[in-house]
Homo-oligomer: A and B are copies of this chain.
């Protein structure tokens, strides 16, 4: 196993992961789990890719709002179009701040506007747009396209699990179809392995008579966050995970769901403690960090456990 997880330092956390994988894959051992039941679920924002200073999908959504505000003066009278058009960073900053404090009102206003400006297009058009954005738009600090901002040790962990015949899924509070646009390229996971929040869809024939699936405005409930995660996981996989990885309070129920597996299980919490190479923040993860300590979850230190970040 010495060649495994080469981007991880040789810490107790790495050992805990490798020990777990070896135990559940050992056919003659007491903790063996057959391949079809080795379900692993990963959160995305802050667990697999960078979520600071802003959710990547929010940057994409703001761009779409900006486009609409530029084209349609009538929308500029209301938020968030006004703030985006006027580059009112105070308004936008407050949205993030409120959300971190547990007040999602501003984020909901933003999300509603985003679903509005991205409605009534086909799923193929949305995919092309998201793909273009993730490939061309750059992160302000790291100066690379957003799709490159995946945590490489975590991507390596996905590959390691897949090599050990785990069935790996990504389940994110963020938009499912947004991640799917690049999931194969950046995670090696087909679009069908991506679960997440989503708007609803409708069927329609286009003007050429070709059957299309179109995006609606309304967000499917519940979103794939907090207590919504286990239902989403059940819907997509039909099974309880034996491994789950997250980084925030929105992942608590998913981590507990994995820990509810009757055999051996592993819950992993990525801790953002590397201010030099990424960011250091506990905001929005306070309860998870507290629970982790008492629940035997593996708290991964990005600073100490990761040889590199990106």
Q: Which residues of A are at the interface with B, using a C-beta cutoff of 8 A?
A: 36, 123-124, 167, 176-177, 180, 184, 190-192, 194, 198, 200-203, 205, 210-213, 227-231, 233-240, 253, 256-257, 259-260
30 residue pairs from A and B, CB less than 8 Å apart: A36-B190, A123-B234, A124-B240, A167-B190, A167-B192, A177-B238, A180-B238, A190-B238, A191-B238, A191-B239, A192-B236, A194-B238, A201-B231, A201-B234, A202-B227, A203-B227, A203-B229, A203-B230, A203-B253, A203-B257, A210-B260, A211-B230, A211-B257, A211-B259, A212-B260, A213-B230, A213-B231, A213-B233, A213-B257, A236-B236
Output the least CB separation between A219 and chain B (Å).
13
Instruction: List the B side residues contacting A203 at CB < 8 Å.
Output: 227-231, 253, 257
User: Which of B200, B229, B239, B256 makes the CB contact (< 8 A) with A192?
Assistant: B239
- CB contact under 8 A between A231 and B200, given known A177-B238, A213-B257, A238-B180: yes
Question: Which B residues lie within 8 Å of A240 (CB)?
Answer: 124
Report the minimal beta-carbon distance from A86 to chain B, rounded to whole angstroms: 36
